[in-house]
Amino acid sequence: MARRGAFVVVEGLDRSGKTTQTDILRQRIQEAGKEVACVKFPDRSTPIGKMIDLYLRSQSDLDDHVVHLLFSANRWELASTILSHLEQGKLVLCDRYAFSGIAFSVAKILPSQPSLSTTIHSEQSFGKLSPINLTWARAPDSALPSPDLTLFLDVSPEVAYTRGGYGEERYEKADMQSRVRSVFEEIGREVSADAGEGKHGNGKWIVIDAGREMHTVTEEIWRHVQPLLDGVESSVGRLWA
Ligand code: NYM
């Protein structure tokens, strides 16, 4: 079987250095003489991406479930493009993916002192929409192409804030970011446990301490990506499948 390109996702809180590191990584891959296709979610250029953009800039209000489905639909819009890049042997480098979708949606309904068990086991009460829990949040993204490697750039919300403060968009608040971080941690534990048991095709989850000096972070990222430059033999997995 011919080798296909590797699918690498970079995840993290806002201001974790994700976009800078993704850019450096793209350059290094190209300097190594390999083809790379870059994708970023949300992709605000598509019709669905434009709706997401309005929502993030607080120009529109939408139910949390609807927004979650829009973010997922935005990924499905590009799923076949991602697959065709991988089949052509290109490394796909993706800035945020389904894990962000789950982390930000579930974090919205967590109390300030997060306890995921309250959301995992929450019941639907009469006359009210049930809050978004992990099981519900995973469903629309299931069967999307799954990454071979996810690099989670971990930084505390306090350190992230010192990097120029948060912007004006929704979610860019310290308490929201710390809830997002705790959901990411839960997702990371789940993906790693599944990978250990060979259960889901969700790939490998690596936590990178992104609170360190930029070059140190870049070198650690490179150490994980370099072995994937010549592609992978196995077929592309499917998320949560
Ligand atoms: N975001 C991103 C979500 O809430 N759900 C998703 O599925 C994705 C991909 O969008 N605060 C949030 C995280 C960010 C915001 O992302 C915009 P960026 O990387 O700043 O453009």
Query: For residue range 207-231, what is the model confidence (pLDDT) as tens digits?
Result: 999 999 999 999 999 999 999 999 9
Q: What is the mean pLDDT of residues 51-56?
A: 98
CA of 19 to the centre of ligand 1 (A): 12
Q: Mean pLDDT for the chain? A: 92
CA of 96 to the centre of ligand 1 (A): 7
The yes-or-no verdict on residue 47 having pLDDT over 90 is yes
Please state, in angstroms and rounded to a whole number, the distance separating the CA atoms of residues 52 and 103: 16
Q: Cis check for the bond before 145: say yes or no (omega within 30 of 0).
A: no
Its CATH architecture, for the domain 7-121+129-228, is: 3-Layer(aba) Sandwich (3.40)
The yes-or-no verdict on residue 65 having pLDDT over 50 is yes
Query: For residue range 96-148, what is the model confidence (pLDDT) as tens digits?
Result: 999 999 999 999 988 765 555 444 444 444 567 888 899 999 999 999 999 99
Please state, in angstroms and rounded to a whole number, the distance separating the CA atoms of residues 65 and 9: 24
Distances (CA, A) of 193 to 10, 77, 138, 159: 19, 29, 16, 28
Whether the model clears a pTM of 0.90, i.e. scores above it, the answer is yes
Query: What atom of ligand 1 comes closest to residue 19's alpha carbon?
Result: 19
Lowest model confidence (mean pLDDT) among 58-62, 93-97, 165-169: 165-169
ipTM for the predicted complex = 0.99
Q: Which residues line ligand 1 (CB under 6 A)?
A: 14, 41-42, 56, 71, 96, 100-101, 104, 171
